[in-house]
Amino acid sequence: MSETLSFNLPEFVNEPFTDFSQPTTAAAMQAALQQVTARFEKEYPITIAGEKIQTGSTFTSYNPAAPEQTLGRFQMADATLAEKAVEAAWAAFPAWAKTPASTRAEYLLKASDLVKARKFEIAAAMVYEVGKSWAEADGDVAEAIDFLEFYAREMLRYSEPQPITPYPGEANEAFYLPLGVGAIIPPWNFPFAILVGMSTAAIVAGNTVVLKPAEESMLMGAIFVEIMEEVGLPAGVLNFITGDGAEVGGVMVNHPLTRFISFTGSKDVGLLISEQAAKRIPGQRWIKRVIAELGGKDATVVDETADLEAAASGIVAAAFGFQGQKCSACSRAIVVESVYDQVLAKVIEKTKALQIGDPTDPLAQVGPVINQESEDKVLRYIGYGHEEGRLVAGGHKLDRPGHFIEPTVFADVAPEARLAQEEVFGPVLAMIKAKDYRHALEIANNTPFGLTGAFYSAREERLQEARDDFFVGNLYLNRKCTGALVGVHPFGGFNLSGTDSKAGGHDYLLNFLQAKSVTRKIG
Ligand code: NAD
């Protein structure tokens, strides 16, 4: 049904990033870093249909830069509670689905105001919980604000009358309905932005959800729940549950009342979920929809005509920003042989100049990796690197508490090597030599992934060729392959990188809607 908007919204614009070189903003961030420590011993309940539940068994998320520091105590839910959460979402669905789109959008806009007001506090908590630098944490919160603002507007657009071809003797219309109960399963690496975006896109479209944050970043989930409660979101629309990913997530995915699963995370878990969702459970009346955004093995291609300085800067920023723990991180630099040594020398120099340190320090550019498992994995791949390439920068764990690993570069890696094919999700870059730009493009396309890519060249026809043939969901010409902005760079991958849902784009809400066509005979 179309409806009249109860408010006029200005056009969407991206939330600006904070300039921490200003003494006032730097002081505000320092104060926030101090203040949020007061939260660290708190215990957070599960929220099901507005009811606050404590299970008697808790677990913690911790600071990867200082593992003895606990960020909060969270409930360990079991399968029964996960089922209860899905049932609560199911019970809340009919009323929420009939709530006008403009009312649903207003909750997001109010939430955006609250996030703006708590920007420094949320960014500070994120610095401790996942080890982001100030700028990365600020960007994450800004992206969450963007998602709230963008999806609110998008829902208003989708609730307007949809274009339809006139037909004699009939009055026709098509409009969008929500799907039902959604399982929302985000990763820890954009612990606020992705969690907020995935949850609120589903909610504003009229669905009710069970949100299970990643175990590494549960405080970010708890803060989001506080905000949605403060804006008065009806009980049961957003149910929040913490626990073991496989156990609780497994129940959410396999429940017969679950209508869709919105997942962002690793390839292996995404494929498992996709397989599980394909099986019909007794009592299930629909084909479950899976929106899965997964990993990457993203490449930067540099040809002999490129601005080599800009290319090397782009490679290093995209390889080591947030310690390489972005799905969009550059983990392969593919350089044509005539300029390979020059680019390699610049990459080594820029990598060695990066400041490693505790992310509470505003000067730290590279912080810790997320946990022990990740540290072990990164060090294992560094081991492979010694077999498959030539170590030219980094390569070691720092001798200090926390999961700090040096930004690491291996040169002369073969295109088929493990280091060139498998996602490491840490600060490790493989440099690969190509005969020419076409060969480089071939190498770039030759992995099972297809998420982001960058192509540096001064030649217009080559840029055009990359535009057409570099098979990734997000391609960047003459700039780095990280840093997608909501509304500007709709985000999602090809191949095993995902279902190409294009978060932050005009198609995204369609993932959470189904269209109904109605024909009335007239005359
Ligand atoms: P992960 O797959 O380990 O976990 C993701 C989520 O799934 C977590 O909430 C986890 O608790 C849950 N989970 C784990 N096992 C489950 C199971 N059996 N059933 C249901 N849920 C389960 O991934 P991660 O370590 O949190 O995130 C890193 C990965 O995410 C990387 O591969 C990265 O590339 C990818 N990622 C992709 C995008 C994208 O947009 N394509 C964005 C961010 C991160």
Residue 406, in any domain of the structure: yes
Band (214; pLDDT cuts 50, 70, 90): very high
Residue percentage of the chain with pLDDT more than 70 = 99
User: Mean per-residue pLDDT for 250-268?
Assistant: 98
- One domain, residues 169 and 130: yes
Q: Which atom of ligand 1 is nearest to the CA of 272?
A: 18
Domain check: are 382 and 448 in the same one?
Answer: yes
User: What are the φ and ψ backbone dihedral angles of 402, each rounded to 5 degrees?
Assistant: 100, 160
What average pLDDT score do residues 119-123 get? 98
SS (H, E, C) 128-153: HHHCCCHHHHHHHHHHHHHHHHHHHH
Give residue 402 CA to ligand 1 midpoint distance, Å. Answer: 22
Query: Are 346 and 415 members of one domain?
Result: yes
Nearest ligand 1 atom to the CA of 253 is: 20
3-state DSSP call for residue 37? helix
Residue 5 lies inside a defined structural domain of this protein: no
Name the residue with the closest Cα to ligand 1, atom 28. Answer: 265
Q: Which CATH number does the domain housing residue 275 bear?
A: 3.40.605.10
CA distances from 65 to 100, 193, 358 (A): 45, 21, 6
For residues 500 and 506, give the distance between their C-alpha atoms in angstroms, rounded to a whole number: 13
Q: Please report, for the domain that includes residue 325, its CATH number.
A: 3.40.309.10
- 55 CA distance to ligand 1 centroid (A)? 25
At 402-427, the pLDDT tens digits run 999 999 999 999 999 999 999 999 99
Nearest CA to ligand 1 atom 43: 327
438 burial level (CB within 10 Å; 0-12, 13-18, 19+): middle
Does 328 map to a domain?
yes
Q: Same domain for 159 and 96?
A: yes
Task: Categorize the per-residue pLDDT at 229 as very low, low, confident or very high, splitting at 50, 70 and 90.
Answer: very high
* 513 located within any domain: yes
- pLDDT value of residue 7: 63
CA distance 138 to 421: 31
Q: Does residue 388 sit in the same domain as residue 512?
A: no
Sort strands 452-456 and 474-477 into parallel, antiparallel or unpaired.
Answer: parallel
Q: How confident is the model at residue 523 (pLDDT cuts 50, 70, 90)?
A: confident
pLDDT for the residue numbered 5: 47
Reply yes or no on whether the pLDDT at 384 is more than 50: yes
Whether residue 361 lies inside any domain: the answer is yes
User: Which residues span the domain enclosing 402?
Assistant: 298-485
Residues 431 and 509 in one domain: no
Tell me what percent of the residues of the chain surpass a pLDDT of 90. Answer: 98
Mean pLDDT within 116-137: 98
| One-character DSSP codes across 162-230 | PP---BTTEEEEEEEEE-SEEEEE--SSSTTHHHHHHHHHHHHTT-EEEE---GGGHHHHHHHHHHHHH
pLDDT tens profile 135-174: 999 999 999 999 999 999 999 999 999 999 999 999 999 9
Residues 316 and 288 in one domain: no
Query: Which tens digit of pLDDT belongs to each residue from 329-345?
Result: 999 999 999 999 999 99
Its sign, for the CA torsion 307, 313, 318, 324, is positive
Ligand 1 binding pocket includes 215 (Cβ within 6 Å): yes
| pLDDT 10s digits, 344-380 | 999 999 999 999 999 999 999 999 999 999 999 999 9
Q: Are residues 129 and 221 in the same domain?
A: yes
Residue 8 — pLDDT band, cuts 50, 70, 90?
confident
Is 397 found in the same domain as 254? no
Number of folded domains that form the chain? 2
Atom of ligand 1 nearest to the CA of 451: 41
Per-residue model confidence (pLDDT) at position 4: 42
Same domain, 158 and 224: yes
Which residues are known to be catalytic? 293, 327
Q: Is residue 277 part of a domain?
A: yes
Whether ligand 1 lies within 6 angstroms of the CB of 294 is answered as yes
Report the nearest-CA residue for atom 9 of ligand 1. 214
- Same domain? For 285 and 318 the reply is no
Residue 185 has pLDDT above 70, yes or no: yes
Q: Across the chain, what does the average pLDDT equal?
A: 97
User: For atom 23 of ligand 1, which residue has the closest CA?
Assistant: 265
Is 334 inside any structural domain?
Answer: yes
- In this structure, the answer to whether residues 124 and 230 fall within a common structural domain is yes
Q: Is there a domain that residue 438 lies in?
A: yes
